[in-house]
Amino acid sequence: MISPASTLGARFVSADHPAADGDPAQYFRRVFTVDSPVQSATLRVTALGIVEPFINGRRVGDDVLSPGWTSYRHRVVVSSYDVTADVVAGANVVGAIVAEGWAVGRIGFEHKRQFYSDRPCLFLELELDYGDRVETLGSDGSFRVGHGAVTSAGIYDGESYDARLEPDGWLTPSFDDATWEPAVVHDVDLGVLTFDGPPPIRRTQELAAVAISTTPSGRTVVDFGQVVTGWVRLSVAGPAGHTVTLRHAEVLTPTGEPEYETLRTALATDRYTLRGGGAPEVWEPAFTFHGFRFVEVSGWPGELDLADLTAVVIHSDMVRTGWLETSDPLLSRLHENVVWSMRGNFVGVPTDCPQRDERLGWTGDLHAFAPTAAFLYDVRGVLGSWLADLAAEQAEKGYVPWVVPDVASHPSAPTALWSDAAVGVPWALYREYGDVEVLRRAWPSMTAFVAQVEAALDADGLWGSGYQFGDWLDPDAPADDASDGKTDRHLVATAYFVETTRQMAEAAGALGLVDASARYASLGERVRNAFRHEYVAASGRLVSESATAYALAICFGLVEGPQRDRAGARLAELVKKADYRVSTGFAGTPLVAHALTDTGHLDTAYLLMTERECPSFLYPVTMGATTVWERWDSIRPDGTLNSTGMTSLNHYALGSIAAWMHRVIGGLEALEPGYGRMRIAPRPGGGLTSARLVHETVHGSVEIAWSIAGDDFTLRATIPPGTSATVELPEHPHAASEEVGPGTHTWSYPLLRTEREPYTFDTPLKTLADDPVAWRALTRVFRAHLPFPIDGSAPEAAHMSLAIMLPMIPHTSTELERDLRQVLSGL
């Protein structure tokens, strides 16, 4: 395949004027003649904007929103299509429609337009191989440009299409384009063109409408039952000039009206004006996309039927590789919500949200979610391309931007979890796929970032200055400052840098860079010592008393021995004190359940995981969520929106908790990059009686299924050729562990049960309080009946029981005693 930069005359072409807001899309065409049979014909096309190419009236390719969004100043992706069957002897027409897309339309917080180009531009090359010669037609001044039915189209605001304006026959040789203008060559550096881009964006699923309702204000609203990313295809018949308007929303208000606040300034509105003539007209937009579940329909001629509208789901062309089902429908739905949020936000670029006036490639969101993403889908293509953009932006600007591609006008300070995505994302891909070339390609970017932070450390090795996002979106952070959570921001930064240096040392080792590995290990030890001196007491307590602080210290090896045990116990206390509700943000949520599990507090991890009160992992599920929310309390218990300006209902970052579900509930963990060696160790809890995990690794499929029937446990595991597994059997009478090779293996045995005396009203309160499952259930009863809390950890609790305590409480009641007895009998 030839490089576009070496073509004979192909250039970017455009109309002879800059674009203005609301301008129609550009229609390009060129007639060419084929004078003898061709052996093959190849069309290569891209745009600054979004392009739909055509040959002789047929839409070429099944990809959408092409060429997607890359860092256009460094990389513009060219798509290649075999169009041999579309080329005919004699006169032919090649054409394209180009709309503004990301390159020209408004983008980012500053609502800039024309960030990459002041007008939509087309690049096209048609190569005709006759066998004895090759002829190439390239976009140049011989192309004609005009307008058609696409009267406006923007990423945020939607598409307007007037079918009456479509130029009949514009893709046939006989069309009279005398009123069209000659295209002009636009000065674009052809060195940015590349074939090495992400997988194309495609239509991946269609959803039928499930309900039509009329709101109290008289609006017609269609529900598709699932928050998706894409658009709506309509089939409508009516008079010429009649316009149907579709406005998209993620959620309804408590009164049933569409809630548009989550869109911010994005109009998210498509309009279709009918050609008329009586026959049904089928249309879907091609130059925009929306995040939605509900669509407000106005101007529909006649009675709207469910079959008239279809939701078209789009995302990057990725292969699904991870599944998890459990006996708890809420946990299974939570996992599916994570999957849907990933699908909705992997549209060319891994974005934060697909609905509002943002949709940016935030580094921190992806860094937190990368291990989960790599488990659920094969993301080598999407994230490989994104990392190439990150490296290009970083090399030009001298820092890792907070969003990639970078559309900000201000520089990005080096920050933990965000900027260190330059290291953490390649590391996550290496761990998942075992491909050392991922590290090799990213190594210059990785080392440049670490050098920048190393220079910012103080004399002791502490990352103690500069802006930090901290534990972003800690539920306790003030509404106007999501970075002002409970955890010291520079504690978060220093802890994450310790983990970054560990990854660097191991990555250097994988690359055979022995000296570099030793240097990064030494740097990591220096920063670790600084962290311990600044933030860790000899007892294992931390200066910053938050779940995130303890989770970071435990998971990143910043406490050890008795200190680690004390930190784990303190973390469990903090989680219990928060009533097992989520108290962590972006930095802590990926780690908190792992930290609890790894320090012997599995029951607490499950209580955290299965809590349903707001804010919690399952609260959104109980509220009908079908995707992961930006905040766990994005919708309040009364159904109203948490009006903070950041309340996306489709945001994958906090879905990072699914990595714990895969490892602990499903029981799968890679012991070496690529799963050549793995651990199979499910840890039942939370009342679960079964789970099934499937993961397609680079070696083949791993399947783990376990179930509990009475006191009997059964585990079945299938691992692929060329791999081995350490199987740790949960609650086995002899704590058995086995090494197994490829194939399917089954174990069945009676569970090791620890007998205890039944809980009664005479059981000491401290004994009840030491059982996290029992105490959570009892605490809920206390909270429902008493105006004050009951402290099971107080010294007198060792000698106090419910039988002694209840007569001493002035507000006691027969209902309180009844509910307590019911809880005790259920334990």
Catalytic residues: 358, 630
Q: Are 565 and 540 in contact (CB under 8 A)?
A: yes
Convert 153-166 to b/e letters by CB count within 10 Å (16 or more is b). bbbbbbbbbbbeee
Q: Is 632 exposed, middle or buried (0-12, 13-18, 19+ CB in 10 A)?
A: buried
Contacts (Cβ under 8 Å, ≥6 apart) of 127: 2, 41, 42, 43, 44, 134, 135, 136
The DSSP secondary structure of 14-44, one letter per residue, reads E-SS---TTPPPEEEEEEEEE-S--SEEEEE
| Termini Cα distance of the chain | 69
The DSSP secondary structure of 261-289, one letter per residue, reads GGGTT---EEEEE---SSS-EEE--SS--
Distance CA 465, CA 468 (A): 9
Which token pair is 113? 């337009």
β-strand partners of 222: 212, 295
Q: Are 83 and 41 in contact (CB under 8 A)?
A: yes
Rounded to 5 degrees, φ, ψ at 565 are: -60, -45
**For the CA atoms of the chain, what is the radius of gyration?**
30
Beta pairing, strands 144-146 & 181-182? antiparallel
Residue 491's nearest CA partner among 504, 474, 506 is 474
Distance CA 98, CA 559 (A): 57
Neighbouring C-alpha atoms within 13 Å toward the C-beta of 30: 21
Which token pair is 341? 């949020």
Distance CA 401, CA 424 (A): 15
- Distances in Å between the Cα of 62 and the Cα atoms of 53, 122, 201, 286, 326 are 10, 19, 9, 11, 36
Beta pairing, strands 322-326 & 251-252? unpaired
Which token pair is 335? 């996992």
The DSSP secondary structure of 531-594, one letter per residue, reads HHHHHB-TTS-BSS-SHHHHHHHHHTT-S-HHHHHHHHHHHHHHHHHTTT-----TTTTTTHHH
